[in-house]
Amino acid sequence: MTKMKSILKTLAALFLAASAWAGTAVFTLAHAVNDLPGGPAVNQLNLHPPVTKIAEEQHWLHWFMLIVCSVIFVGVFSVMFYSIWKHRKSRGHQAATFHESVVVEVVWTVIPFLIVILMALPATKVVVAMKDTTNADLTIKVTGMQWKWGYDYIKGEGEGIGFVSTLDNAQREMSNSGKPPATDDYLLKVDNPLVVPVGKKIRIITTATDVIHAFAVPSFGIKQDAIPGFVRDTWFRAETVGDFHGQCMELCGKEHAYMPIHVKVVSAADYSTWVAGEQKKLAAKMDDPTKVWALDDIMKRGEKVYASTCITCHQANGKGAGPIKPLDGAAVVLDADKNKQIAVVLNGQNNGAMPSWKSLSDTDIAAVVSYTKNHWSNKTGQVVQPADVLALRK
């Protein structure tokens, strides 16, 4: 009887294991994805395929170090296990009684030293090359902020262009609903990718507005911390046109996983076309700060600005989430002194939890403040003009 119970328990355990495996298989098939070019691969075991010389050298170093360590491991433990087995006491062997051996000590000092030098020389060469940011064709300032990236082209073709890149709002909504789609770029799609020309040396200067972030794109072989109050730099030269993905690789808060990086590498001609388009957009934003807007017109513009900058944290319904304060019914929004809300948008607050949006034009800030003051349940009737923002910006 006892034996029968044991058999039944075993069969039950096997059944549960099979059920769990089947359930996992069905879930995996339901959410099947493919390799993402320039990003992660399904069941990936190795580093991302390199598209820069530095990344190629990192791959070579990775395999070189692995092979050297494996050879040492196999050699040392083979000798050790052979010696233990061959000279075991049960076969009548007696331990040697010598006290020291100058030859052995010299050998086990010199050989590891030579191995370390053999490994250090190529590694040092790559590290030095990784830090050589001189003679860059294009310099881009990358600013990490909870939880998005700011890109400012500060030297080279495209100088003066700047924008903020955030996780695609549709993907955020899918994540919030708990129904992730079976897409290859889930939580890696952004609204504004970083665009760079192929074959050009790109210097990346990193900093942050709130906490420590890290700008990393595995296909380029780069990872550089972005630290508030400090400036760090790195560089890459992509040799292949395409889309390449990375993420913030420093634990930076509750939405650390929602801070993707998308770098679009294009041909020189396509890059020039993109720069021209962005410069036209910048010119269009240079509105007359003395223009007086009607409420309906500035509300329409404010809705677009809100959708591109504010909706990530404050949501479409203006309710906020967690530590993010709501805008619907907020005291600062309903306050008759409109300068209070303008100051918050310009300068941020709560140690960067609400970032500064000085990068927006006076008209865009006036539009988004007017929009929040007159949307949802907020019906203040107040209209903020660009001149109001300009006065506080000085």
Q: Residue 254 pLDDT more than 60?
A: yes
The predicted structure's pLDDT at residue 319: 87
Cis peptide before 108 (omega within 30 of 0): no
Greater pLDDT, 99 or 32: 99
Q: How far apart are CA 369 and CA 71, in angstroms?
A: 65
pLDDT tier for residue 291 given thresholds of 50, 70 and 90:
confident
SS3 string, 290-347, reads CCCCCHHHHHHHHHHHHHHHHHHHHCCCCCCCCCCCCCCCCHHHHCCCHHHHHHHHHH
Greater pLDDT, 120 or 183: 120
The token pair that represents 51 in the structure block: 């598209």
The predicted structure's pLDDT at residue 174: 82
pLDDT tier for residue 2 given thresholds of 50, 70 and 90:
low
Backbone angles phi, psi at 122, to 5 degrees: -65, -35
Q: Residue 25 pLDDT more than 60?
A: no
Average pLDDT over residues 88-99: 78
The predicted structure's pLDDT at residue 24: 42
Location of structure tokens 């899918």: 174
Q: Residue 356 pLDDT more than 60?
A: yes
Other Cβ atoms less than 10 A from the Cβ of 223: the count is 15
pLDDT tier for residue 353 given thresholds of 50, 70 and 90:
confident
The predicted structure's pLDDT at residue 352: 67
pLDDT tier for residue 5 given thresholds of 50, 70 and 90:
very low
Average pLDDT over residues 9-19: 48
Mean pLDDT of the chain: 87
Average pLDDT over residues 236-243: 96
pLDDT tier for residue 88 given thresholds of 50, 70 and 90:
confident
The predicted structure's pLDDT at residue 21: 46
Backbone angles phi, psi at 141, to 5 degrees: -90, 125
**Global pTM?**
0.70
Average pLDDT over residues 29-38: 72
Other Cβ atoms less than 10 A from the Cβ of 4: the count is 8
| pLDDT above 90 coverage of the chain, percent | 59
Q: Residue 263 pLDDT more than 50?
A: yes
Residue-wise pLDDT for 168-206, tens only, equals 888 888 887 777 776 788 899 999 999 999 999 999 999
pLDDT tier for residue 26 given thresholds of 50, 70 and 90:
very low
Residue-wise pLDDT for 304-315, tens only, equals 899 888 887 888
Q: How far apart are CA 382 and CA 337, in angstroms?
A: 10
HSE-CB for 49 with a 13 A CA cutoff:
12
pLDDT tier for residue 32 given thresholds of 50, 70 and 90:
low
The predicted structure's pLDDT at residue 156: 94
Backbone angles phi, psi at 133, to 5 degrees: -95, 15
